[in-house]
Amino acid sequence: MIKIAVTGAAGRMGKTLIEALENSSAAKLTVAIEHPESSLLGADAGELAGLGKSGVVIGSDLSAAIDAFDVLVDFTAPAATLANAALCAAHQKGIVIGTTGFDASQKAQLMEVVKPTRVVMAANYSIGVNLCFKLSKLAAEVMGDTADIEIIEAHHRHKVDAPSGTALKLGEVIADATGRDLDKVAVYGREGQTGARDQQSIGFATVRGGDIVGDHTVLFAHDGERVEVTHKASSRMSFASGAVRAAAWLGSQPSGFYDMQDVLGLH
């Protein structure tokens, strides 16, 4: 049984991860971490997630609990994740990273600090979304030279980054499959007299509102027909269950940098 630490344990995703761990036969929660100013420090993590007592008390110091877990699951913010990843790497602990919004410098720093250990990092841990990555790659290989490609995503009003990490990953998958540089062909929203569409561009449209968990569609538009690859999440549990599956898988892997496609054998 893999022992798991969860950071951001009192947040929406943290509580869902705790519930997913309660339902797992391969991994169990042993450490729950929140920021030092949280009013929930000292609370039972299971009770906070609505599951009853777990015996795991929410703390604020991951380093003090370093011997109590095998793999950290981190869905927090870039700066916090970088610090946590450096700590895990120094102690040969695995880490599953679900944080999005890293800038280029932070991403490069992360790739450097995690070299000594084993890491799974994915834009999205949903099994369905990862299947969509595979299907989008196939569609791009078949249709990408002639189709207009647009990526449409929608999330709840509280999401702070745009486009979503999943949308950007879809763009990267498609760009790689069609031999394009996403930094050069991405179009993030349109306004005014934009002129005719450049066929090489990959467009992104972002919607924010309500409690939408996460919707993503890749549109391949030809004259006379279109193909759409769509995933709609109705619960964060799909992400949490995938992250727990990744953590359990990671426990038996050698040091290295992996993604959810590795976990699911989709490469």
Q: What backbone torsions phi and psi does residue 126 show, to the nearest 5 degrees?
A: -65, 135
Q: How many CB atoms lie within 10 A of CB 235?
A: 11
Q: Which stretch of DSSP H or E encloses residue 149?
A: strand 148-155
Q: What is the pLDDT of residues 58-81, one digit of tens each?
A: 999 999 999 999 999 999 999 999
CATH 3.30.360.10 fits 127-233, yes or no: yes
pLDDT score of 129 more than 80? yes
Give the sheet arrangement for strand 27-33, strand by strand: 58-59, 27-33, 2-7, 71-74, 94-97, 118-121, 256-258
134 is catalytic: no
Residue ranges of the chain assigned to CATH 3.40.50.720: 2-121+236-264
State pTM to two decimals. Answer: 0.83
Q: 256: which strand partners?
A: 118
Q: What is the pLDDT of residues 150-193, one digit of tens each?
A: 999 999 999 988 999 899 999 999 999 999 999 999 999 899 99
Average pLDDT on 8-32 reads: 95
Report percent pLDDT > 70 for the chain: 100
155 is catalytic: yes
Give whole-number Cα distances, 260 to 48, 80, 203, in Å: 28, 22, 24
- Distance CA(59)–CA(38), nearest Å, equals 9
Which of 28, 35, 134, 159 is flagged as catalytic? 159
Residue ranges of the chain assigned to CATH 3.30.360.10: 127-233
Which of 15, 93, 155, 231 is flagged as catalytic? 155
Look at domain 2-121+236-264 and name its CATH class: alpha beta
